[in-house]
Structure 1
Amino acid sequence: MKIRNILVLLAGALLSLQSFAQASNWPIPNKPITFINPFPPGGAVDAFGRPLAKQLSTQMGTSIIVDNKGGAGGTVGAAAAAKMAPDGYTWLLGAVHHSIAPSMYTNLSYDITKDFEPVAIIGSVP
């Protein structure tokens, strides 16, 4: 992927997140925000999530921590995120894997459509 495409995607994500904050009356963060990456460090989700976290941290004036919780095709991290308070301080960096997880794992401890609220698309792959 060309660097120009990545920059365009990140700019779009920043605008989406700013719109979300304004539309939902999300308060100015007064504690660190956690991005849960449900995959190991160094993968595609990390490649999009870490630069976004750095830029948002600068713009919002608060720390954004990327917490990698890999395992079981992303379901370990998604389960951890689903258990967190729905206060806007924990975000799941999802991927296409989450759309197929219910058909592969019959006893998921979360429902991807009910336990999460989509906010922005920060990247796409061919």
Structure 2
Amino acid sequence: LNIKKKTAAVAGNVRLQKRETQVAKDESGKPKVSVVTLTCAAMEIFTDTQNFNASGKVSIVKDGQRAQAEQASYNNAGKVLTLTGSVSIQGEENESIKCDRAELHTDQVLVKAEGENMEITFEIEE
């Protein structure tokens, strides 16, 4: 813990769980709440902003969505988790994306993927 820099560093089998209010509402009009679980080898947390950087076999689970990457950085103000390095994302309905970089929005079902080598797999209903 570095109080002057407002950072905390953790290493080992790191596990972070974050409750996130979703943009979408449930049937009664109340906001949905999802739990985002992230595991990694090392993490640096910025205590003043709740932003963080994670590295080493980063794995994320949110509802039925799973993602893996070499690194991840989280921007709490924008509710965006940026994944880099061998990114792989699997959705609830067996859709998948493999790319160099992706942005996962933790408060909604939205993924932005980019890179030179991108592979997207999904089923088309007839």
Q: TM-score, normalised by structure 2?
A: 0.26
Higher Rg:
2
Which of the pair is proportionally richer in helix? 1
Structure scoring higher RCO (CA < 8 A, sep ≥ 6) equals: 1
